[in-house]
A = this chain, B = another copy of it.
Amino acid sequence: MNNSDTPAAQDMHLHRHPEQHMINSATITDIVIGMSDGLTVPFALAAGISGAVQGTGLIIVAGLAEIAAGSIAMGLGGYLAGKTEIDHYNSELRREYEEVEKLPHIEKQEVKDFFSSLGLSEEIQDKAVEEVTKDKKKWVELMMKYELGLDKPDPKRARTSAFNISVSYVVGGLIPLSPYFFFNDSIEGLKISTVITLISLFVFGYFKSKVTGVNPVAGAVRVMIIGAIAAGCAFGIARLIQS
C-alpha cells in the first residue's frame, strides 16, 4: 500500500530533474495501482458469477458492490498507509533527536559506520563525522535518511493518493463490467467482457511497462495473463460449486 517507493516511482526519478519527475511519478504509480486491480478483480468476479448464473442482473449488482468495496478499501487503505508513514516518520525523528542528545557516542559511531560503508578511509571518516555532527539538524537528517532509510513524507500526498487510487479503481472496474449492462445472457456478456478487458489489460500493461522500464510487449502480455488466470479460476470455482 505504500505508493512512493515502487519500481515505477524509482524509475521515474530521472537523473537531471528529480523533483519534477517525482510528482508525476507518484500520480502515475497511484493510477497503475488502482487500474491494475480495478481491471482484474471485477473482471474475474463477473466471470466467476457468469459461471453460476444465467442472467446479468446479479452480475451487475455484485460487480458494482465490488467496485464500491474495492475502491473504498484501496483508497482509504492508501490514505491510512500515508498517515501511518507520517506518524512513523515523526516518532522516529523524535527518537533520533533524543538519541543524539543522550547517546552521542553511539550515534557518532553510527555516522562513522555509514561513512565506512561508503568505502572512505579512517581519516576521512573521522573528519566527515566531525563536520556532520557539528549541526544537530544535519546530523539527525543524515541518520533518518541513510541509517533508517526514511524520507520526509509529504502530508498532502496521503489524501491525493487515496483519491487517485479510488478513481482509477472505479474507472478500471467499470470497463469489464460494462458489457453486462447490454446483454441479458451472462455468457454473452462474459465473451464481450473478456475481449474488452484483455485488450484493456494489454494496453494498460504496455503503458505500465514503459513507465517502469521493462520491455513493453512482454510486460503487457504478463499483465494480460494474470487477468486471464484470475478470471479462469474464478469461473472454474463458481462452476464447480454450482454443479
Q: Which residues of A are interface residues toward B (Cβ below 8 A)?
A: 1-2, 5-7, 10-11, 13, 15, 33, 36-37, 40-41, 43-45, 47-49, 51-53, 58, 60-62, 64-66, 68-70, 72-74, 76-77, 80-81, 84-85, 87-88, 91-92, 110, 115, 118-121, 124, 127-128, 131-132, 135, 138, 142, 146-150, 212-214, 219, 222-223, 226-227, 229-231, 233-235, 237-238, 241-242
> Once the chains bind, are A65 and B121 in contact (CB under 8 Å)?
no
In the bound complex, residues from chain B placing their C-beta under 8 Å from that of A76 are 226, 229-230
> Once the chains bind, are A60 and B241 in contact (CB under 8 Å)?
yes
Greatest chain B CB density within 10 A among A61, A124, A138 is at: A61
Given contacts A1-B6, A10-B148, A69-B230, contact A241 B80 (CB under 8 A): no
Told that A13-B149, A60-B241, A61-B238 touch, could you supply 4 new A-B pairs with CB distance under 8 A?
Answer: A7-B84, A48-B64, A61-B241, A84-B212
> Once the chains bind, are A132 and B119 in contact (CB under 8 Å)?
yes
> Once the chains bind, are B70 and A41 in contact (CB under 8 Å)?
yes
> Once the chains bind, are A84 and B214 in contact (CB under 8 Å)?
yes
In the bound complex, residues from chain B placing their C-beta under 8 Å from that of A118 are 128, 132, 138, 142
In the bound complex, residues from chain B placing their C-beta under 8 Å from that of A226 are 72-73, 76-77, 80
Q: Does more than half of chain A's interface fall in helix, strand or loop, or is it mixed?
A: helix
Option from B52, B87, B234 in Cβ contact (under 8 Å) with A68:
B234
Min Cβ gap A148→B in Å is 7
> Once the chains bind, are A88 and B119 in contact (CB under 8 Å)?
no
In the bound complex, residues from chain B placing their C-beta under 8 Å from that of A60 are 241
12 A–B contacts, CB within 8 A, in A order: A10-B88, A13-B149, A40-B77, A49-B61, A61-B241, A64-B237, A72-B230, A77-B226, A84-B212, A115-B128, A119-B138, A120-B131
In the bound complex, residues from chain B placing their C-beta under 8 Å from that of A121 are 131
> Once the chains bind, are A124 and B119 in contact (CB under 8 Å)?
no
> Once the chains bind, are A69 and B44 in contact (CB under 8 Å)?
yes
